[in-house]
């Protein structure tokens, strides 16, 4: 009888991946990123341990949506005060805060627990083509993940 393998936090090796989001669809890109952040692409995946890798996303301001979602998608934020529901269209958010689009899409695909708050810290999103993580020698994210 074989014992079930369970990864220990100290045994996990983390890689750095970089993704160019220019022209990619938000949802499809977010699923790939969430899978890598969670570590589901590794054979050592353990649901209750952070076995994932770091992901850097560049050109987040140039992501696309399919169909008519460009006109119908809105992002909401509630301030906590009466009448404090703030809404912004996709076009407005992409122009002012392009990182928010991918960050919210990926957060929605992660589990809703303490582990997800740890996982989302490994996501680095940048609106432009430059990022300050050259020292980590990130590799391009393969299409198979």
Q: pLDDT tens digits for 34-89?
A: 999 999 999 999 999 999 999 999 999 999 999 999 999 999 999 999 999 999 99
Q: What is the pLDDT of residue 128?
A: 94
Q: What is the mean pLDDT of the chain?
A: 95
> Could you tell me if 49 and 7 are in contact, meaning their C-beta atoms sit under 8 angstroms apart?
yes
Structural domains for the chain: 15-66+96-139 (3.90.1180.10)
Q: Is the pLDDT of residue 99 over 80?
A: yes
Give the residue ranges of DSSP H helices in the chain. Answer: 26-38, 69-72, 90-96, 98-109, 114-119
Q: What is the pLDDT of residue 143?
A: 87
Q: What is the pLDDT of residue 34?
A: 97
Q: How far is CA 121 from CA 3, 14, 53, 107, in A?
A: 32, 13, 11, 10
Can you give the pTM of this predicted structure?
0.92
């Amino acid at each position: 009888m074989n014992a079930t393998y369970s990864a220990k936090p100290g045994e996990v090796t983390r890689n750095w991946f970089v993704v160019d989001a220019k022209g990619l669809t938000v949802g499809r890109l977010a699923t790939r990123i969430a899978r890598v952040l969670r570590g589901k692409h590794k054979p050592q995946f353990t649901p209750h341990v952070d076995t994932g890798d770091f992901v850097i996303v560049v050109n987040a301001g140039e992501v696309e949506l399919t169909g008519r979602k460009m006109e119908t998608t809105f992002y909401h934020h509630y301030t906590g005060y009466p009448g404090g529901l703030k809404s912004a269209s996709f076009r407005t958010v992409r122009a002012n805060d392009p990182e928010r689009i991918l960050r919210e899409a990926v957060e929605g695909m992660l589990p809703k627990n303490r582990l997800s708050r740890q996982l989302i810290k490994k996501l680095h999103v940048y609106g432009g083509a430059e990022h300050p993580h050259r020292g980590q020698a990130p590799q391009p994210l393969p299409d198979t993940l």
